[in-house]
Structure 1
């Protein structure tokens, strides 16, 4: 029986000679590439944008917030104006999201990098969200699925033709350690914080979306996920102590800890990597 495959190589010209001669710096170089960052004005998103533009990318951000990432201090001081564009869009609205992406224009009608890092997060103050499980509402559960998972599905659909026009397509989803393990309620003891179940469920779905698309969008596009651990912000000191005590590196993450993962998966350093979930958690999930 003959099995047909979409995965074909010219074995007489393999590996392509240009890949065997590039330095690490050359593999990291993103000059001339177009990127779309969903959620590019948030805590993580702004660092993603900063990383991409530092490596030479032209970046378009899509976010419900109106703040232009061009106002980021690093970008303002070091990156030419015009290298970052911002579009305001509510990604929870399917029609608006699809129409907005269709209306975007990119150089050479292609996208090289798409990163989904928008999130309905555990610290949201929405009613029925960051409360004990029995008080969590179906509405906020569905809202989390919509923002964290359904929008990623839509974005993959709408950007696929543009990624197909690239020779270096990379699609990256931001998942979470709570896609991998259950909630440790001891972390939240005496902190006034809770871990909504909708967050972990939606982030788990992103990992299966990653695996599925890694096969169906190959060989033109690589699809990978990044799962950060808890990121230090303004959580109560008790939570910092609880979390750090469970982490081999004895601290929470910072946004800067995400930069290496983004640079790796967005660039040709990971040209033979697809379907990966890159965990950036200081070892939290190995205990």
Structure 2
């Protein structure tokens, strides 16, 4: 059996990342460029994505390009698609990375997300960004992939796409129950839905050479308060949250030919949390 040393090479592959100016989006882009891929950075925040592109282009020989793109707007996504097509650039891999994430910070959650107080404006925003946006991008770029009989869609879910959030992690002493922060219901629904979208796409265009997989990452160190870090570490067999760069190997694997027979799978990388 001959195994090419270029099995994980991303040379000549055009890879588009949504939400690329976010914490993990930056890590995805860095890894892809390090392995020779051409990165198309997209984000609703044009300044952040512009600065990211500049920094990456200073570091790597292969160049990134960037676009402002609102994934909740079909017209905005079409505009980027058409601009790329005019330049003769076709997306080989789409990474649906953009999402709303009410993360824990130094002082806990940023807002009261309890189901009893559910704000349906925030609910709609969460579903629009995480689900509608992923469907729009998959529709537009995936359709073109199916016409070319080649393509790859990677969806970013979460460990909370396969398990329920343990709301005890966010508990604060001295607050009554109805004021305790929680992970919102929209987060669970969207992250479970992303895995469902992955399975749907994996069968929908399989005969057109388009495959689809997802990643369910665990939480990442990002200035969380010490109490939360201590509590969540007890729920993870490896005893800690992830460093931001620890999902890069999975991204390279799924973008490369090394995963050419992987389709419809959800790659769980959570330090073992979901097995306890």
Q: Give TM-score scaled by structure 2 length.
A: 0.88
Q: Which residue of 1 aligns with 2:75?
A: 95
Q: Which residue of 2 aligns with 1:10?
A: none
Count, aligned residues: 262
1: CA distance, partners of 2:87 / 2:266: 30
Q: SS where residue 206 of structure 2 aligns? A: coil
Deviation at 1:32, TM superposition (A): 0.9
Q: SS where residue 141 of structure 1 aligns? A: helix
Does 2:130 correspond to 1:148? yes
Q: Which residue of 1 aligns with 2:54?
A: 71
Deviations 1:172-218 (A, max 9, x none): 00001111111211111128753011111011111111001001111
Q: Which residue of 2 aligns with 1:199?
A: 187
1: CA distance, partners of 2:159 / 2:150: 28
1: CA distance, partners of 2:44 / 2:27: 17
Match of 1:45 among 18, 25, 39: 25
Q: Which residue of 2 aligns with 1:21?
A: 2
Q: Tell me the C-alpha RMSD between the 2 structures.
A: 2.2
In 2 relative to 1, CA 37–258 (structure 1 residues): closer, same or farther, beyond 3 Å? same
Larger RCO, structure (CA 8 Å, separation 6 or more): 2
Q: Which residue of 2 aligns with 1:176?
A: 158
Q: Which residue of 1 aligns with 2:266?
A: 277
CA contact (8 A) 1:130 1:195 kept: no
2: CA distance, partners of 1:221 / 1:108: 20
Match of 1:215 among 203, 207, 224: 203
Deviation at 1:267, TM superposition (A): 0.5
- Structure 2: any 5+ residue segments left out of the alignment? 174-179
Match of 1:260 among 236, 249, 254: 249
- 4+ residue segments displaced more than 6 Å: none
In 2 relative to 1, CA 161–22 (structure 1 residues): closer, same or farther, beyond 3 Å? farther
CA contact (8 A) 2:145 2:151 kept: yes
Deviation at 1:283, TM superposition (A): 0.2
1:131-142 to 2 correspondences below 5 Å: 131-142=113-124
Match of 1:118 among 78, 86, 98: 98
In 2 relative to 1, CA 95–167 (structure 1 residues): closer, same or farther, beyond 3 Å? closer
1: CA distance, partners of 2:112 / 2:71: 21
Q: Which residue of 2 aligns with 1:230?
A: 219
Q: SS where residue 28 of structure 1 aligns? A: coil
Match of 1:187 among 148, 163, 169: 169
